[in-house]
Amino acid sequence: MSAIIMSGTQVAQQADAEFQQRIQHLKQRQITPGLAVVLIGDDPASAIYVRNKQRRAQKLGINYQLHHLAASVTQAELLTLIQQLNQDPDVDGVMVQMPVPPQIDATTVMNTIDPDKDVDGFSVVNVGRLWSGESGNFPGTPRGIMRLLAAYQIHLAGQQAVVIGRSNIVGKPMASLLLRANATVTVAHSKTRNLAAIARQADILIVAIGQPEMITAQYVKPGATVIDVGMNHNAQGKLVGDVQFADVQEIAGFITPVPGGVGPMTITGLLDQVITLAEQRAQRDDH
Ligand SMILES: Nc1nc2c(c(=O)[nH]1)N[C@@H](CN(C=O)c1ccc(C(=O)N[C@@H](CCC(=O)O)C(=O)O)cc1)CN2
């Protein structure tokens, strides 16, 4: 039997309907959520992702600022811009699109963004909040995946979850959010031995390794939920995930497609976070 396909596109549309209502409430109180995105250089994939964010944010009535900087921008120039955005009362969330060019130290940049405007949740303050179970800003992709799992009523408590990939953007925060939802979590990576055997234990398998179509049916337990975070171009130039979709959909219970799976949910996770920050601003105004 073929897996149920988890449509990020559809769940993102449903989320936008909820976001519209939340934004309407804010606007009744003269507050418009504000998002500032900093894009450095001309990486074609980043340009597509930023355009997708802009389209959705503007459709919802979010005040969207794009700061497109030259690939040669200096670290000092970038930090000056971030400090200006930190001070701007109309900006609720600030993010710098990754990856950044080699002269930029991404860690310093992330930790220069005010933690309460760090909409990506990449700063050490928000990473600490995430792992210590506090509320804070958490990265968009794992947040979006949690919403997608909830939309398809995938039970998490007590389930075996295996996250393949240990990046700060996806793997580590994903593991933390699954742990917070009471899943039993294993994080595997490029040095993991017997990867297929470990992956086959998963009721929920999250794959974020950046290796086109590496995960075949032999890595998947029958009936498992498979979430593919990969976004790669294969030899024919086609956009594919880290999972061999045609092969794995024959064995999985649920599976995300690429495109139309995790990508739209990443933007949903981000927009949810921006609106939440604007709601917090409204609460502060009340006091
Ligand atoms: N500062 C950040 N940088 C990056 C993040 C992030 O969360 N914060 N994540 C990724 C890129 N990303 C968000 O920024 C992102 C990736 C993919 C999509 C998306 O809409 N994908 C579409 C396909 C798009 C295409 O045609 O290529 C889909 O999957 O359907 C949106 C955002 C790295 N950088």
For the domain that residue 58 is a member of, what is the CATH number? 3.40.50.10860
Ligand 1 pocket residue status of 64, Cβ below 6 Å: no
Residue 273 CA to its chain's centroid (Å): 11
> Which of 207, 266, 270, 273 maximizes ligand 1 atoms within 8 Å of its Cβ, making it the mutation to test the pocket?
266
Q: Strand order of the sheet with strand 63-69?
A: 63-69, 34-40, 93-96
| Catalytic member of 92, 117, 118, 120 | 120
Handedness of CA 269, 274, 278, 280 (dihedral sign): positive
Ligand 1 pocket residue status of 52, Cβ below 6 Å: yes
Q: Which range (27-31, 84-88, 145-149, 282-286) has the least confidence?
A: 282-286
DSSP class per residue in the chain: -PPEE--HHHHHHHHHHHHHHHHHHHHHTT---EEEEEEES--HHHHHHHHHHHHHHHHHT-EEEEEEE-TT--HHHHHHHHHHHHH-TT--EEEEPSS--TTS-HHHHHHHS-TTTBTT--SHHHHHHHHTT------HHHHHHHHHHHHTT---TT-EEEEE---TTTHHHHHHHHHHTT-EEEEE-TT-SSHHHHHTT-SEEEE----TT-B-GGGS-TT-EEEE---EE-TTS-EE-SB-HHHHTTT-SEE--SSSSHHHHHHHHHHHHHHHHHHHHHHHHH-
Specify the pLDDT at position 260. Answer: 98
Asked if 235 and 187 sit in the same domain, the reply is yes
CA of 49 to the centre of ligand 1 (A): 5
5-44 residue pLDDT tens: 999 999 999 999 999 999 999 999 999 999 999 999 999 9
Asked if 188 and 256 sit in the same domain, the reply is yes
pTM above 0.95, yes or no: yes
- pLDDT at residue 186 above 90? yes
Look at residue 63 and tell me if it is in a domain: yes
Residue 208 CA to its chain's centroid (Å): 11
Task: Provide mean pLDDT across the span 165-187.
Answer: 98
Specify the pLDDT at position 286. Answer: 86
Ligand 1 pocket residue status of 98, Cβ below 6 Å: yes
Nearest CA to ligand 1 atom 18: 263
Beta pairing partners, 39 = 68
- pLDDT at residue 1 above 80? no
CA of 119 to the centre of ligand 1 (A): 15
Mean pLDDT over the full length of the chain: 97
Domain enclosing residue 227, as ranges: 140-262
Look at residue 267 and tell me if it is in a domain: no
Instruction: Please answer whether residues 205 and 178 qualify as being in contact, where contact means their C-beta atoms are separated by less than 8 angstroms.
Output: no
Asked if 148 and 194 sit in the same domain, the reply is yes
Ligand 1 pocket residue status of 140, Cβ below 6 Å: yes
Look at residue 87 and tell me if it is in a domain: yes
Report the alpha-carbon distance of residue 126 to residue 39 in Å, rounded.
22
Asked if 160 and 105 sit in the same domain, the reply is no
Look at residue 11 and tell me if it is in a domain: no
CA of 263 to the centre of ligand 1 (A): 5
**Active site (annotated) includes residue 120:** yes
ipTM > 0.90? yes
- pLDDT at residue 187 above 90? yes
Look at residue 269 and tell me if it is in a domain: no
CA of 68 to the centre of ligand 1 (A): 17
Q: What is the count of structural domains for the chain?
A: 2
Establish whether the linkage from the previous residue to 99 is cis, with ω within 30° of 0: yes
Ligand 1 pocket residue status of 257, Cβ below 6 Å: no
Look at residue 165 and tell me if it is in a domain: yes
Look at residue 216 and tell me if it is in a domain: yes
**Active site (annotated) includes residue 286:** no
Asked if 155 and 258 sit in the same domain, the reply is yes
Asked if 246 and 167 sit in the same domain, the reply is yes
CATH, residue 180: 3.40.50.720
**Active site (annotated) includes residue 53:** yes
- pLDDT at residue 141 above 90? yes
> Which of 6, 10, 49, 172 maximizes ligand 1 atoms within 8 Å of its Cβ, making it the mutation to test the pocket?
49
